[in-house]
Amino acid sequence: MNISQDLPADSDLAKRAAPRRAKVVVDFALQGGGSHGAFTWGVLDRLLEEPWLEVEGVSGTSAGAMNAAVMADGWAEGGAQGARRALDTYWQHVSEAARFSPFQRTPLDRMFGRWSLDYSPMFVAMDLMSRLFSPYQLNPAGSNALAPILAKEINFERLRNSPIKVFITATNVRTGRPRIFRNAEITPEVLMASACLPTLFQAIEIDGESYWDGGYSGNPTLAPLVRELVSDDTILVPINPVERPGTPKSAAEILNRLNEVSFNAVLIKELKMMALLRKNTIPGNDEGAEWARMRVHIVRNPIMNTLGYSSKLNAEWEFLSMLREEGRKSAEEFLITHGDDLGKRSTLDIDQLLAEMM
Would you state the pLDDT for residue 157? Answer: 97
Characterize 73-95 residue by residue with b for buried, 16 or more Cβ atoms within 10 angstroms of its Cβ, and e for exposed. Answer: bbbbeeebbbbbbbbbbbbbebb
- H helix runs in the chain, sequence order: 12-17, 37-47, 63-97, 107-111, 121-132, 135-138, 146-153, 156-160, 188-194, 223-228, 251-280, 286-292, 317-338, 350-357
Higher-pLDDT residue of 276 and 71 is: 71
pLDDT (tens digit, 9 = 90+) per residue, 38-76?
Answer: 999 999 999 999 999 999 999 999 999 999 999 999 999
Considering 280-284, 295-299, 308-312, the range whose residues carry the highest mean pLDDT is: 295-299
Q: Percentage of the chain surpassing pLDDT 70? A: 89
Q: Residue 270: which pLDDT band, with cuts at 50, 70 and 90?
A: confident
Sequence-separated (6 or more) residues with CB below 8 Å from residue 284:
none
Q: Would you state the pLDDT for residue 178?
A: 95
Average of per-residue pLDDT across 83-103: 92
Confidence of residue 287 (pLDDT cuts 50, 70, 90): low
Quick one: what percent of the chain has pLDDT higher than 90?
A: 56
Burial annotation 136-173 (CB, 10 A radius, 16+ → b, else e): eeeeeeeebebeebbeebbebeebbebebbbbbbbbbb
Other C-beta atoms within 10 Å of 54: how many? 15
Q: Which of 200, 182, 185 is nearest to 146 (CA)?
A: 200
pLDDT of residue 8: 46
- The pLDDT of residue 5 is 47
CA dihedral 2, 94, 225, 156 (to 10 degrees): -80
DSSP state of 52: T
What are the phi and psi torsion angles at 32 (to 5°)? -100, 165
Burial of 355 (0-12, 13-18, 19+ CB in 10 A): exposed
Confidence at residue 17, expressed as pLDDT on a 0 to 100 scale: 47
pLDDT in tens, 247-261: 988 777 787 788 888
Least confident stretch, 279-283, 290-294, 343-347: 279-283
Q: Which residue has the higher pLDDT, 306 or 292?
A: 306
Where is pLDDT greater, at 278 or 160? 160
For residue 191, pLDDT over 70 is answered with yes
How high is the mean pLDDT of the chain?
87
Q: What is the DSSP string of 21-44?
A: ---EEEEEEE---GGGHHHHHHHH
Cβ atoms 24, 52 nearer than 8 A = yes
**Angstrom distance (rounded) from CA 16 to CA 336:** 7
305/245 Cα distance (integer angstroms): 8
The pLDDT assigned to 356 comes to: 46
pTM greater than 0.85 (yes/no): yes
Residue 258 · residue 299 · CB < 8 Å: no
Q: What is the pLDDT of residue 339?
A: 95
**What are the pLDDT digits (tens) for 126-176?**
888 888 889 999 888 888 888 999 999 999 999 999 999 999 999 999 999
Termini Cα distance of the chain: 52
pLDDT (0 to 100) of residue 350? 67
Per-residue confidence (pLDDT) for residue 284, from 0 to 100: 57
User: What is the per-residue pLDDT across 325-336, written as a single tens digit (0 to 9) for each?
Assistant: 999 999 999 999
